[in-house]
Structure formats: C-alpha cells, structure tokens
Amino acid sequence: MSDYKQKSDLELVEACRQDGDQRAFGVLIKRYERPLYNFILRMIGNPAEAEELFQETFLRIYKNLENFRGGASFSPWAYRIAHNLCIDSLRRPGKRIFVELEKDDDNEVSVLDRQENEQSPNPENELYRRQIGQSIQEAVDQLPPKLRSVFVMYQYDHFAYEEIAEVLEIPLGTVKSRMHSALKQLSNKLKHLTPAGKPRGHNRS
C-alpha cells in the first residue's frame, strides 16, 4: 500500500481503469475523503445527508472512471461530481441550508470574520463573536447555490479562481462575477454589524 501512496492521482486512476485495482481506488478515496466531505458538508449543512452525498460521489466517480479524460486533472473532475450532487440536493423543495462559517476544520478563521487577536479574551468579545457567527450563517443560508459554490470553494478549499472555473466548467469571468456577487450580498446582509463594544447607530464622532 505504501507504493500506492507515492503514485499520482492519474496513475491511480489508470490502475483502476485498466486493471480494476481496488487498492488504487482505496488510496484515491483516502486522499480525497476529507476535502470532498468537508466541501459537501459546507454546501449542504447536514452531516447525515453530507455523508450520503459523499458516498454517492465516490460511487459515481468509480462508475464513471471510463469517462474520465486521460491527462486531465482528477481533483476538478471529482469536485465537479460532488458539486453537481450538492446542487441537485439544494434544488429539492423545502431545502434549508445551514453552513458553519466561523471556522473550518483546521480552525482557520473565516475571511468574513477575521479580527485582530485579543490580548485577553473576555465574555463580551466571545458573545459578540457568537453573534457574528450566527449572522454570517444566516447570510450564507440565503446565498443562491451558484454563489455559495464559488464562495465555499474559494474560502474553505482555497481554490484559485482558475481552478473553480475548471470545476464548474464556466468562464473565469463568471467565477469572478459570482464571487463578487456573493461578497456583495453577504456584505449587505452583514453591514449592520459593529465592532464589539460599540452600539449600533452611533458611529458619528
């Protein structure tokens, strides 16, 4: 198995396609299970449903390996499958999305919630951070799926715009436009927030 871990994504894919190598596919799953699951969870918000969609993602990957274009990058292709499943799920009637935005799994603070490190955390600041987090969650809940996709890939998966364009199979300009729209909508919904300790509506000096 150690030899398999040294292989590239494309080498593992070819082993699966040509020889039906289950060990090679197992390494691919291990390599992408965390980032793909986290992406799905941030899009869907429900752990149980995210797990189902994660399993379905790899089932579709396995079934469609023959359709994978040799020489192409595996990562965008895998993310595209996961993304399409998420979009299908989000389009179901009555779907409500909850996305945790304050921190990701590596405890990195969101770009929308980056504040200067406190020298000595206090209850007031902690309460304010929780209020900020809840407000952000509610704002992202209301983003259209297409905007949420771009935002999540950029913010949490650290994809460049070019990589997002490849995943979604859309022009680079469209990615930038969607990101701009997502940030604009979030900014408008969060403009009522003020720094901790400062009352709202009293910004004049």
Is there a contact between 175 and 168 (Cβ–Cβ < 8 Å)? yes
Residue range 7-98 forms a domain whose CATH class is mainly alpha
pLDDT tens, position by position, 146-174: 999 999 899 889 999 999 999 999 999 99
Q: Extract the tokens encoding 77.
A: 């292709």
Is 9's pLDDT higher than 80?
Answer: yes
- Cα distances from 177 to residues 97, 144, 181, in angstroms, run 23, 13, 6
Please check whether residue 121 is in contact with residue 115, taking contact to mean a CB–CB distance below 8 angstroms.
Answer: no
pLDDT band at residue 196 using 50, 70 and 90 as cut-offs = very low
> How confident is the model over 180-187, as a mean pLDDT?
91
Q: Which of 92, 86, 132, 87 is nearest to 109 (CA)?
A: 132
CATH architecture of 99-196: Orthogonal Bundle (1.10)
Q: Judge whether residue 120 has pLDDT over 80.
A: no
pLDDT band at 204 (very low <50, low <70, confident <90, very high): very low
User: What predicted TM-score, i.e. pTM, was given to this entire model?
Assistant: 0.72
Q: Where are the domains of the chain?
A: 7-98, 99-196
